[in-house]
Amino acid sequence: MTERMRTIYLDHAATTAVDPKVVEAMIPYFTEHYGNASSIYSLGREARKALDEARRTVADILGCKPEEVIFTSCGSESDNLALRGVSLARREAGKGNHIITSPIEHHAVGHTCEHLEEHFGFEVTYVPVDEHGVVDPDDVGRAIRDDTVLISIMYANNEVGTIEPIAEIGKIAKEKGIPFHTDAVQAGGTLDLNVDGLNVDLLSLSAHKFYGPKGVGVLYVRNGTPLLPTQTGGGHERNRRAGTENVPYIVGLATALRLAYDHVESNNQRIAALRDRLIDEITAEIPDAQLTGHPTNRLPNNASFVFKYVEGEAILLNLDLAGICASSGSACTTGEAEPSFVLTAMGIPPEIAHGSLRLTLGRENTAADVDYVMSVLPGIVEKLRMMSPLYAAR
């Protein structure tokens, strides 16, 4: 008998398991309090009460008014509503058709900008990032034009974990009177979400990144920010997002967010210590391994790397065989692995960007998980290099 293989989940940036306490809070709203929150009888009023309470919980953590919270179906929808809603509303008001963003945004922002450019005639400026993936607020300031209608810069990057100077960018946007959106999907559950401290007018969240269910998100919209709804129908969410509210999922989102911020500092500290061990040991023990993203100003759970002379996909397959779930920045399309656009925007040459690996820790990970990764990863990289013609020809 071989030793039972362990499964170690190190892909919390992709998604997280739903906390059992969250499931427990959700269940009654499927089976018992299943009314439509718009109905006037008591079953409907129970649902409305839960919805209002969830909205207050989110507002409390964001430091905003409950009516500034819109519940959506996911982070992607929140980003779409922010970008399309503000750009189209402000253009209609004659404010212009120019958007500012970065080249390292998640596709929910990046592809939406492209769509607005290609199909709606908007012009998009991509401010650069430095070698650590950081946007310079002065570059954002310089990119602002008389016809700029929206600025959207992510709070923390999903691949390399770099945290952006959101409050500084927001200050510049505020001085110029331009709405500022941040995609905080990766920051939700670990970083401070106070919207006034961050100087943001719009902020996106997704529950499945902080131990809530998949398929429910938040868009915070500061009162007074012009927003054209992108989904029309009933008057839900104060006419900004039509659709019968998904009460059980919204309760799940609010419960998960509350739980995450109840213990945020101790959780962050414990996880960051594991992250730092991964970073220190991987860069010390594996030759030609390089940390990607900012060395210190990064998400507490993100350890991301490039390894010269190997393919990220091959590392992932071998880690999977060893029971480790991880991720790489390269997207394998039509059999041809594309290097990560985030890494190439940071100036990492495509041939090196191909060898990327992202390990993202979570609540259930322990020091023993780090030990296990260190017992298998160096050998995997070495084995792959031995088979690599690039390594032989280096």
Judged by beta carbon, residue 109 or residue 251, the one nearer ligand PLP is 109
CB atoms within 10 A of CB 341: 18
Please give the structure tokens belonging to residue 2. Answer: 């071989």
Selected from 154, 195, 247, 282, the binder of ligand PLP by CB under 6 A is 154
Judged by beta carbon, residue 160 or residue 380, the one nearer ligand PLP is 160
Residues forming a β-bridge with 162: 298
| Interface with ligand PLP, residue 302, by CB under 6 A | no
The span from the CA of 43 to the CA of 39, in Å, is 8
Site string for ligand PLP, 185-214 (x = CB under 6 A): xx-------------------x-x------
Judged by beta carbon, residue 74 or residue 193, the one nearer ligand PLP is 74
Residue 71: name the closest of 219, 223, 240 by CA. Answer: 219
Residue showing tokens 């719009």: 202
Judged by beta carbon, residue 108 or residue 380, the one nearer ligand PLP is 108
Site string for ligand PLP, 356-375 (x = CB under 6 A): --------------------
Q: Which stretch binds ligand PLP (CB under 6 A): 60-68, 183-191, 238-246, 377-385?
A: 183-191
| Interface with ligand PLP, residue 133, by CB under 6 A | no
Catalytic hit among 64, 74, 113, 332? 332
Selected from 37, 58, 62, 74, the binder of ligand PLP by CB under 6 A is 74
Residue 165: name the closest of 114, 102, 225 by CA. Answer: 102
SS3 142: helix
Amino acid at 98: H
The span from the CA of 281 to the CA of 259, in Å, is 31
Selected from 87, 97, 125, 158, the binder of ligand PLP by CB under 6 A is 158
Q: How many residues bind ligand PLP (CB under 6 A)?
A: 14
| Interface with ligand PLP, residue 159, by CB under 6 A | no
| Interface with ligand PLP, residue 11, by CB under 6 A | no
Selected from 68, 183, 245, 311, the binder of ligand PLP by CB under 6 A is 183
Selected from 217, 248, 293, 312, the binder of ligand PLP by CB under 6 A is 217
| Interface with ligand PLP, residue 299, by CB under 6 A | no
Helix axes 264-285, 247-262, angle to 10 degrees: 70
Query: What torsion do the CA atoms of 167, 168, 173, 176 make, to the nearest 10 degrees?
Result: 130
CB of 73 vs ligand PLP, minimal distance in Å: 8
Please give the structure tokens belonging to residue 392. Answer: 């032989």
Whole-angstrom CA distances from 288 to 35, 89, 285, 309 are 58, 49, 9, 9
Q: Which stretch binds ligand PLP (CB under 6 A): 71-79, 142-150, 232-240, 300-308?
A: 71-79
Q: Which stretch binds ligand PLP (CB under 6 A): 70-78, 88-96, 312-320, 345-353?
A: 70-78
Q: By beta-carbon distance, which residue lies closest to ligand PLP?
A: 75
Note if 332 is an active site residue. yes
Helix axes 367-386, 312-321, angle to 10 degrees: 130
Amino acid at 142: R
SS3 357: strand
Q: Which stretch binds ligand PLP (CB under 6 A): 36-44, 46-54, 164-172, 181-189?
A: 181-189
| Interface with ligand PLP, residue 245, by CB under 6 A | no
Judged by beta carbon, residue 12 or residue 91, the one nearer ligand PLP is 12
Contact 212, 181 (CB under 8 A): no
Q: Which of residues 79-118 bind ligand PLP (CB under 6 A)?
A: 79, 106, 108
Please give the structure tokens belonging to residue 360. Answer: 């993202």
SS3 69: strand
Amino acid at 15: T
SS3 163: strand
- DSSP labels, 298-354: B-TTEEEEEETTS-HHHHHHHHHHTTEE-B-S-EEETTEEEPPHHHHHTT--HHHHT
SS3 15: coil
CB of 342 vs ligand PLP, minimal distance in Å: 11
Amino acid at 34: Y
Judged by beta carbon, residue 74 or residue 291, the one nearer ligand PLP is 74
Residues that bind ligand PLP (CB under 6 A): 74-76, 79, 106, 108, 154, 158, 183, 185-186, 206, 208, 217
Q: Which residues are catalytic?
A: 332
